[in-house]
């Protein structure tokens, strides 16, 4: 009213109404400086004498003009302010109750909280533009990242950026390349990406140490980071291995990651890569597709140096896997046992596997004839091996039938065969006659089944149950 007005100082003692909806929906995610601009202007609308110009508002709030303009753009996007004119710029405050996005801003409104959190990462001094938001929305809608994963990726990239005010176009272009890589690896959730970023931080940190050692003054390129990943992942090198190799780059006037890669390759593969390839093939047989560790590669080199052929290592791994033994320790144990038997060449190993498989089959048959339904043990096979060169199958089958219902049929057969051997038995007929003669000479009432040395077996009988290529307690199968 023209005839009456507040005293100029009255505004300081008045109250500015702020809707609870604003406090609940907009205040939590708004950047601090933008929030100060909004609240002060809400007060100035009620008391124009407290903020007559943009310059005066900036002076009172102690902000730059760019920050004020960015704040007004931010609230425009939130649907609470509408631009009225451009030159000079003027605005109209909209009701919180009726704030609604324009069709062009519908996607922005859909991700209002996400956009606010994204802007907060860059700070009030780096106002994002529609192009950057569109790129971020593509990461959500096209690649399928969660909002938390995108914010985590942005935060990680900002930490690796030296500038406090990065070039947004270059920043989002480089980050987009990274996001494509993360999507290809299936790292779409916050937890998946966090684990990957922790590893990437390790890669980046090592790359920067290498750059420092090589007296470069820049960030590592993506190709250089890929080399570092290869050294750590595929080659299993430690950070100390890589940095130690940097000392050898003094032999060239222009050291580079490629030169360092050649140094590391030569130090890693003194045998031309033979041990690495042999071990990798063996580990795949075991079902382990991880990159072999330095200790495992050293063990493999020792096997090769002892004369064990690569094919023998792979065959031993295959036998372990077929008996559900899948660790490197299982493979190492088997190769040690084979070495004790003089088995190093692959043809010797194949012959041994075939022989042991046949022995297992024959022992299983003898146990069946003896009325025993149990797994074949290594002690059984050793006993059979002591018979097979001296006795034909028909005599062995007869001995098994004689051992039917014995508690320890293999031990009974062994005693029986030794007795026949002492008596000069060489044919089935002689064995049967010897059996009848023994029965006829047996005192009445004595159980012949008890006429052999018996004792309770202890654990020493089973120390070799885990045979070189066999955990022989599973069903009958070929090797």
- Give the pLDDT band (50/70/90) at residue 461: very low
**What average pLDDT does the segment 164-171 reach?**
88
What is the C-alpha to C-alpha distance for residues 223 and 204, in angstroms, rounded to an integer?
12
> What confidence score (pLDDT) does residue 456 get?
46
HSE on the CB side for 216, CA within 13 Å? 17
236: left (phi over 0), alpha (psi -120 to 50) or beta: left
pLDDT band at 155 (very low <50, low <70, confident <90, very high): very high
Measured CA to CA, the distance from residue 338 to residue 318 in angstroms comes to 14
Phi, psi (deg, nearest 5) at residue 17: -75, 130
Rounded to 5°, the CA angle 364-369-374 comes to 45
Mean pLDDT computed over 93-113: 65
Measured from the Cβ of residue 60, the count of other Cβ atoms closer than 10 Å reads: 13
**Cβ distance 101 to 109 under 8 Å?**
yes
For tokens 């302010």, the residue is 81
- Closest C-alpha to 263, from 291, 231, 225: 231
Paired tokens of 460: 């020493």
Candidates 272, 332, 280; CA nearest to 306 is 332
Q: Determine the pLDDT at residue 470.
A: 43
Cα separation, 236 vs 217, in Å, equals 27
Q: Which fold has domain 10-100?
A: Arc Repressor Mutant, subunit A (1.10.10)
Band of residue 150 on the pLDDT scale cut at 50, 70, 90: very high
**Dihedral sign for Cα atoms in the order 401, 406, 407, 409:** negative
Mean pLDDT rounded to a whole number for the chain: 82
**So where are the chain's domains?**
10-100, 128-247, 274-344, 361-440+461-479
3-class secondary structure for the chain?
CCCCCCCCCHHHHCCCCCCHHHHHHCHHHCCHHHHHHHHHHHHHHHCHHHCCCHHHHHHHHCCCHHHHHHHHHHHHHCCCEEEEEECCEEEEECCCCCCCCCHHHHHHHHCHHHHHHHHHHHCCCCCCCHHHHHHHHHHHHCCCCCHHHHHHHHHHHHHCCCCCCCCHHHHHHHHHHHHHHHHHCCCCCHHHHHHHHHHHHHHHHHHHHHHHHCCCCCCCCHHHHHHHHHHHHHCCCCHHHHHHHHHHHHHCCCCCHHHHHHHHHHHHCCCCCHHHHHHHHHHHHCCCCCCCCHHHHHHHHHHHHCCCCHHHHHHHHHHHHHCCCCCHHHHHHHHHHHHHCCCCCHHHHHHHHHHHHHHHHHHHHHHHHCCCCCCCCHHHHHHHHHHHCCCCHHHHHHHHHHCCCCCCHHHHHHHHHHHHHHCCCCCHHHHHHHHHHHHHHCCCCCCHHHCCCCCCCCHHHHCCCECCCCECCCCCCCC
Q: Evaluate the CA torsion angle 468, 472, 473, 474 in order and state its sign.
A: positive
Give the pLDDT band (50/70/90) at residue 228. Answer: very high
Distance CA 75, CA 268 (A): 59
Residue 23 has pLDDT above 70, yes or no: yes
Least confident window among 33-47, 85-99, 328-342, 382-396: 85-99
- Region 114-124: mean pLDDT is 88
Q: Is the peptide bond before 88 cis (omega within 30 degrees of 0)?
A: yes
Q: What is the mean pLDDT of residues 267-295?
A: 75
Burial class from Cβ neighbours inside 10 Å (0-12, 13-18, 19+) for residue 416 reads buried
pLDDT tens-place string over residues 423-458: 888 899 988 888 888 777 766 555 554 555 444 444
CA angle 473, 477, 479 (to 5 degrees): 100
Give phi and psi for 84, each to the nearest 5: -100, -50
Contact indicator for 380, 363 with CB cutoff of 8 Å: yes
Closest of 139, 133, 141 to residue 116, by C-alpha: 133
Contact in structure between 316 and 279 (CB atoms under 8 Å): no
Q: Does 414 score more than 50 pLDDT?
A: yes
- Residue 287 to residue 133: CA distance in whole angstroms: 45
Is the pLDDT assigned to residue 463 strictly greater than 60?
no
Handedness of CA 278, 281, 285, 289 (dihedral sign): positive
pLDDT higher at 96 or 457: 96
Average pLDDT, integer, range 374-403: 87
Model's pTM, two decimal places? 0.40
**Residue that is written with structure tokens 């034909």 in the block:** 392
Query: Is residue 476 over pLDDT 50?
Result: no
Which backbone phi and psi does 250 adopt, to 5 degrees? -70, -10
Q: pLDDT above 90 covers what percent of the chain?
A: 23
């Amino acid at each position: 009213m023209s005839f009456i007005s507040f005293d100029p100082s009255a505004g300081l003692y008045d109250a500015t109404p702020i809707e609870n909806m604003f406090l609940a929906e907009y205040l939590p995610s708004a950047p601090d400086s933008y929030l100060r601009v909004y609240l002060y202007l809400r007060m100035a609308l009620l008391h124009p004498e407290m903020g007559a110009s943009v310059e005066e508002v900036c002076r009172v709030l102690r902000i730059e003009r760019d920050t004020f303009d960015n704040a007004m753009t931010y609230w425009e996007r939130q649907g609470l302010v509408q631009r009225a004119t451009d030159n000079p710029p003027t605005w109209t405050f909209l009701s919180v109750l009726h704030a609604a996005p324009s069709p062009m801003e519908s996607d922005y409104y859909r991700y209002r909280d996400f956009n606010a959190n994204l802007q907060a990462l860059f700070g009030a001094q780096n106002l994002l533009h529609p192009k950057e938001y569109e790129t971020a929305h593509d990461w959500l809608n096209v690649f399928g990242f969660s909002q938390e994963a995108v914010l985590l990726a942005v935060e990680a990239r900002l930490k690796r950026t030296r500038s406090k005010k990065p070039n947004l176009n270059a920043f989002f272009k480089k980050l987009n390349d990274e996001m494509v890589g993360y999507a290809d690896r299936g790292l779409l959730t916050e937890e998946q990406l966090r684990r990957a970023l922790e590893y990437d931080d390790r890669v980046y940190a090592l790359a920067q140490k290498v750059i420092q050692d090589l007296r470069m003054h820049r960030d590592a390129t993506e190709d250089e980071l890929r080399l570092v990943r290869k050294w750590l992942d595929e080659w299993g090198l430690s950070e100390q291995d890589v940095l130690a190799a940097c000392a050898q780059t003094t032999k060239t006037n222009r050291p580079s990651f490629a030169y360092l890669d050649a140094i590391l390759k030569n130090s890693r593969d003194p045998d031309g890569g033979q041990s690495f390839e042999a071990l990798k093939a063996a580990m795949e047989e075991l079902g382990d597709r991880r990159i072999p560790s330095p200790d495992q590669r050293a063990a493999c080199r020792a096997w090769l140096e002892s004369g064990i052929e690569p094919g023998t290592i792979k065959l031993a791994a295959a036998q372990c896997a077929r008996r559900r033994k899948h660790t490197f320790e299982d493979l190492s144990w088997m190769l040690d046992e084979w070495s004790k038997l003089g088995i190093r060449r692959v043809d010797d190993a194949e012959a041994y596997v075939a022989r042991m498989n046949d022995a297992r089959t024959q022992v299983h048959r003898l146990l069946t004839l003896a009325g025993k339904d149990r797994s074949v043990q290594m002690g059984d096979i050793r006993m059979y091996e002591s018979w097979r060169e001296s006795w034909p199958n028909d005599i062995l089958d007869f001995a098994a039938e004689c051992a039917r219902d014995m508690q320890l049929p293999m031990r009974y057969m062994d005693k029986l065969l030794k007795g026949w051997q002492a008596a000069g038995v060489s044919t089935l007929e002689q064995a049967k006659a010897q059996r009848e003669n023994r029965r006829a000479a047996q005192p009445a009432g004595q159980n012949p089944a008890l006429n052999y040395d018996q004792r309770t077996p202890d654990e020493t009988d089973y120390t070799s149950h885990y045979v070189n290529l066999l955990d022989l307690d599973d069903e009958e199968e070929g090797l």
